[in-house]
Amino acid sequence: MPSATWPFRLRRGWNTALNWIFPGDHLPCVLCRRPVPPEVAQTGDVHLCPFCFQDIAQIRVSGRVRRLTFAGEGIPVVAAVRHDGFVRNLIRQWKYDGAIELTEWFADWASMAWREVHGTAFRQGQAVAPAPAPSPEPMQMQAPMPGTRPHPRGAAPLCTSGMPDALVPVPPAPDRLRQRGYDHTALLAGCLSRHLGIPVLHALARAGAAGAITRSQTAKARRDRIMSLEGAFRLARQAPSLRGRRLLLVDDVVTTGATLSACAKVLTAAGARSVAGIVVADVA
């Protein structure tokens, strides 16, 4: 399943070609869009100005667990960071403005949070930012070692024993996919798959008509979100059998949990053994 539409790929390719033809032009920071001279850019996989890089370096990953109300034991959801301050801006740029270079950073944060919650292979003081791509000269600035803390006392443990069998990205509405040109949750799931060694399973699809216009869920209360998402998801046509599988839903943020609950309802009805969630940020 392609994670980006052909117009988006064409636009990105055209911009890359222009940068190659006119190498004297400074590439813009992917966040603030300021032109960044090569000698001060924080390169790696994400082209950042020193100011945005410093803001990102202050973000601390902490494995947060929320248990959403659902049949049986509920749905445990792991979040890497709080959805506030600079994080809110990062996610908006990634989700709406084409800054897909941030996907690897978000996947790194989410995988760190997952390992912290599970207590596996987590080393105190591990850097938030993924290691930059090898280069002949070291970066002039390095991300400081972020602090970490365990998930809140009393948080329920994950219902999955061991690692999940597959990652299931929450599918975007067709009209949103056309507007953005890329599926940010599918991109996130792909990066998480490499970090955690868990395959991606595109088991869900939107149930609405292809040309339908999707209303924003941002300002809605939890009850209204639940009602508007009733029947919004279905099993994908090519989805394999889910019976007995432990599945991990992948999304960008969790607010009321209505979206993840609606997806979990479809997966459990199809025979999934357990469903948990992993997101970049928690709004609550």
Beta-strand pair 233-235/204-206: antiparallel
- What sign does the CA torsion over 125, 130, 134, 137 have? negative
Q: At residue 207, does pLDDT exceed 80? A: yes
Average pLDDT over every residue of 278-282: 97
Instruction: Calculate what percentage of the chain has a pLDDT beyond 90.
Output: 42
Q: What single string gives the DSSP state of each residue in 32-66?
A: T--B--TTT-B-TTS-B-HHHHHHHHT-----EEE
Confidence (pTM):
0.74
CATH topology of domain 61-129+146-282: Rossmann fold (3.40.50)
Q: Which candidate, 153, 157, 106, places its Cα nearest to that of 274?
A: 157
What is the structure's pLDDT at 64? 86
- Indicate the SS3 state at residue 121: coil
pLDDT in tens, 83-132: 988 899 999 999 998 889 899 999 999 999 999 998 743 333 344 444 33
Beta-strand pair 274-282/166-169: unpaired
d(CA 276, CA 76): 5
What is the structure's pLDDT at 72? 65
Q: At residue 255, does pLDDT exceed 70? A: yes
Q: Which candidate, 196, 56, 81, 60, places its Cα nearest to that of 125?
A: 60
The pLDDT mean for the chain works out to 76
d(CA 36, CA 57): 18
Per-residue tokens: 51:
């100011």
Q: Which candidate, 196, 56, 43, places its Cα nearest to that of 133?
A: 43
pLDDT in tens, 17-64: 555 555 555 778 888 878 877 666 555 667 788 888 888 888 889 888
d(CA 141, CA 247): 39
- On whether the CB atoms of residues 187 and 8 are closer than 8 A, the answer is no
Q: Which candidate, 161, 133, 149, 135, places its Cα nearest to that of 73?
A: 161
Question: Which DSSP category does 163 fall into?
Answer: S
